[in-house]
């Protein structure tokens, strides 16, 4: 809860100061959202690459290897990604 003095202070705040203060908050939120969207787009691109590889390039042997829950160390990154997407 705010005190009476804090409430009075808010009543007499300059509207431009309020706008500046709020704009800073919104700018920080916008920056966070943009970072999160960039990460999501990157994940979606990786998923798209992995699925494209799986459906267009993966041999039956590779697809069989993906059924094993613990892939060998030599499995390429895309196979590991595809595997996590199929589980």
The total number of residues written for the chain in this structure: 87
Q: Are 72 and 85 in contact (CB under 8 A)?
A: no
Output the pTM of the full model. Answer: 0.56
pLDDT of residue 86 exceeding 80: no
pLDDT of residue 57 exceeding 70: yes
Instruction: Give me the half-sphere count of Cα atoms (radius 13 Å) on the Cβ side of residue 25.
Output: 6
The residue ranking higher by pLDDT, 79 or 7, is 7
The residue ranking higher by pLDDT, 62 or 32, is 32
């Amino acid at each position: 809860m705010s005190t009476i003095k804090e409430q009075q202070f808010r009543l007499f705040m300059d509207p431009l100061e309020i706008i500046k203060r709020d704009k800073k908050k919104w700018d920080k939120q916008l920056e966070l959202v943009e970072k999160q969207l960039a990460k999501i787009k990157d994940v979606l691109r990786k998923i798209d690459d992995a699925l494209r590889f799986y459906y267009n390039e993966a041999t039956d042997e590779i697809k069989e290897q993906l059924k094993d829950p613990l892939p060998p160390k030599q499995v390429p990154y895309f196979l590991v990604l595809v595997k996590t997407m199929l589980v």
